[in-house]
Structure 1
Amino acid sequence: MKLFVPSPGHISSLKTLLEARDRIYSIFMAGSPDYIGTGRSNLASPQLEDIAAQTEYAHRHGVRVEMVLNSSCMGGRQLTPEGFRINHWYIERLVDIGVDSIVVADPYLVETIARDFDIDVVVSVLAFVDSPQKAEFYENLGASSIVIDSNVNRHFDVLHAIRDSVDCELKLLVNEGCLYRCPFRYAHFNFFSHAFGPEPRPNVLDDYYYYKCLELRIVNPELIIKSPWIRPEDIRQYRDITDVYKIGGRTHFVDWILNCTNAYHNESYEGNLMDLLDCPKDLKDLFYIPNKSLDGVIEQWKSCKKVCKRCGYCKVLTKKITQVYIKGGTESETLAPWETLSVRT
């Protein structure tokens, strides 16, 4: 198994992460938003000298380094002479530093990096590769690796079709807690790309998409169950598709990242599924979903037609296993069945 593990971007956090280097194939982190943005906010924005120091340290300990430049929207700047010059200069510096791979979402960047540089080009999950046709397209552009759209993590027919259609490496993002087929996904990542990308950055009042998505899941945790995460125990179901897995969460703290790394490396986790999901802390502090109570559920999902209104399996499962923390985080904190509380309210 090859685990790609997030790094917040500080050398101190990297040193702590690499205490678990026997479980980590590669770390990935964002660079400076002054050049190319990403699809997430940044805990750190390492400059080139910081990236060089971290790359040297990771390589010295046998771990690869992947840079994430997966802005889903650059406002057309990448197609201007000035944008091309800046992007080309920045990528050239990363290659000179010795970075092993670069993740991008824009087809133009996939093609130009593959053509102009000797470095592995990874197609981001934000390119939404959810069919063999898209996978073939990106492979023909020069991609050496594709992170498959997490929305199809439980569509095994699609995953096998993609695997049969391309020769390049495939990665699966295992712990994203986003809504299945999220209606906010494109707009939200475009917002992040501008809010945490090059100047000028929008002076926004609030993140509508974040709070709306959070609200929907607090009211109905069935949406958490439907999210296309992959449990550590279910990794074995994907071995004929890939042995490369990506743990999302580069905006989290190192202890959380290490906990996820250990769980997926061991292919087992005792405790709350919410501990592993890259989702808002508000949800982690509210819901308790015993991970082991989901043993065997993937067999249902492997054959599911995803017509929820007719099926109802996840609705029943949610009522059966989901618990809620009550008493507001006080010393008298306890758990209660979510179904009991939802009926009462």
Structure 2
Amino acid sequence: MEGLEDLLSGSQDIYAVYMAGTPDYVGTGRTNLSAPGLEEIQEQTEFAHEKGVKMEIVLNSSCMGGQHLTPQGFNKVKWYFDRLNDIGIDSITVAEPYFVEMLAKDYDMEIVVSVLSFVDSPQKAEFYEGMGADTIVVDPAVNRDFSKLEAIRESVSCNLKLLVNEGCLYQCPFRYAHFNFFSHANGPGPKLNVLDDYYYYKCLSLRINDPQQLVKSPWIRPEDIKEYKHITDTFKIGGRTHFPNWILNNVQAYIQESYDGNLMDLLDCPKDIRDLFYIPNKELGNALEQWKRCDKNCSKCGYCKRLIEKIVQVYSTDGTEQTLQPLKSTGGTT
């Protein structure tokens, strides 16, 4: 509640906020900072509504292990949906197609198809709209493929959202496995007794050893929002595992459509390597025009590698003093 109060007192431009539900019923695709009970959800929803802000619950488990298709699992999920509906939740984000149809049949809450449904084509968007989706969060993998974005926009009449600041690897080989892992680790039992998150640390090591992956990630700069307004005017900021001041910094950057600083400050995913690299956001001004023409054949192109060597700096510590040096002087690795 304290975090929500900070958020909604810090900006007048927030249209909606979202949080995870109770993982005892449906998991999510991210690590849960907390597991809010229904009373907490109701308290925060009422506060958001007082501020004129919509509340969205994210129940975007990418794998339920088939539990939702058993009589016991179905009744459990339905009971939870009923309670959220009674509370006055405005929308529910799901990744499971069965839940899209279930919500469309029995509830008036807005149905948002999660980014974890990987909607990356007009055909897939049409399927989800046919199931009853009100809004689709498009797979960020196509954030820089304008012909595909435009085809999706033309194929459906439902709302679209774009996730602007996810810092995941472009065409990440771990993406499906990682979100399935989260869905079980942060969902209904039995709870997993894992030693570590292999996928996360492997992801970090790939970017540390090959920093061009940082700019290949399909984020959208605040300055480039205007290029997407024929697709949608609804943009989603990822970062519910961060503190409110970090989220508000992002909100202001995207509201103002400008950020003069380190792009790494805005990205959701690689927070553990944020203090390794300095990517001057303002020096990326011409990159989107290149990416619009890009055929994604990286081995022949090399643009991202040249760009990263030209503008990116790495932090170097000498005793207690931290300085910046060009990436190129480190041989392209850190």
TM-score, with normalisation over the residues of structure 2? Answer: 0.98
Judge conservation of contact 2:212–2:305 (CA < 8 Å) in 1: yes
CA distance in 2, matches of 1:236, 1:12: 33
Partner SS state of residue 30, structure 2: coil
Post-superposition CA distance 1:88-133 (Å, at most 9, x none): 0001100110010000001000011111111100000000000000
Post-superposition CA distance 1:273-313 (Å, at most 9, x none): 00000023221010000000001210010111000001111
CA distance in 1, matches of 2:332, 2:140: 32
Name the residue aligned to 1:219.
Answer: 209
Partner SS state of residue 219, structure 2: coil
> Are 1:192 and 2:150 matched, yes or no?
no
Partner SS state of residue 23, structure 1: coil
CA distance in 2, matches of 1:252, 1:344: 27
Name the residue aligned to 1:32.
Answer: 22
Matches within 5 A, 1:91-170: 91-170=81-160
Compared with structure 1, are the counterparts of its residues 240 and 297 closer, same or farther at alpha carbon in structure 2 (3 Å cutoff)? same
Name the residue aligned to 1:268.
Answer: 258
Name the residue aligned to 2:36.
Answer: 46
CA distance in 1, matches of 2:3, 2:289: 38
Name the residue aligned to 2:324.
Answer: 335
CA distance in 2, matches of 1:92, 1:262: 35
The amino acid of 1:206's aligned partner reads D
> Are 1:201 and 2:191 matched, yes or no?
yes
Name the residue aligned to 2:285.
Answer: 295
Name the residue aligned to 1:284.
Answer: 274
Judge conservation of contact 2:309–2:332 (CA < 8 Å) in 1: no
Judge conservation of contact 1:102–1:120 (CA < 8 Å) in 2: yes
CA distance in 2, matches of 1:96, 1:331: 55
Partner SS state of residue 136, structure 2: strand
Partner SS state of residue 160, structure 2: strand
Partner SS state of residue 42, structure 2: helix
The amino acid of 1:209's aligned partner reads Y
The amino acid of 2:198's aligned partner reads Y
> Are 1:232 and 2:222 matched, yes or no?
yes
Between 226-235 and 15-24, the greater mean CA deviation after superposition: 15-24
Deviation, 1:134, is: 0.2
Name the residue aligned to 1:81.
Answer: 71
The amino acid of 1:34's aligned partner reads D
> Are 1:242 and 2:232 matched, yes or no?
yes
The amino acid of 2:330's aligned partner reads L
CA distance in 1, matches of 2:333, 2:59: 47
Q: 1:71 aligns with which of 61, 64, 68?
A: 61
Partner SS state of residue 171, structure 1: strand
Partner SS state of residue 14, structure 1: helix
CA distance in 2, matches of 1:143, 1:109: 10
Mark the runs of 5 or more structure 2 residues left unpaired by the alignment: none
CA distance in 2, matches of 1:63, 1:18: 8
Deviation, 1:331, is: 4.3
The amino acid of 1:283's aligned partner reads I
CA distance in 2, matches of 1:192, 1:40: 6
CA distance in 1, matches of 2:40, 2:230: 38
Deviation, 1:241, is: 0.4
Mark the runs of 5 or more structure 1 residues left unpaired by the alignment: 1-10
Name the residue aligned to 1:23.
Answer: 13
Deviation, 1:20, is: 3.0
TM-score, with normalisation over the residues of structure 1? Answer: 0.95
Deviation, 1:344, is: 8.6
Between 214-223 and 18-27, the greater mean CA deviation after superposition: 18-27
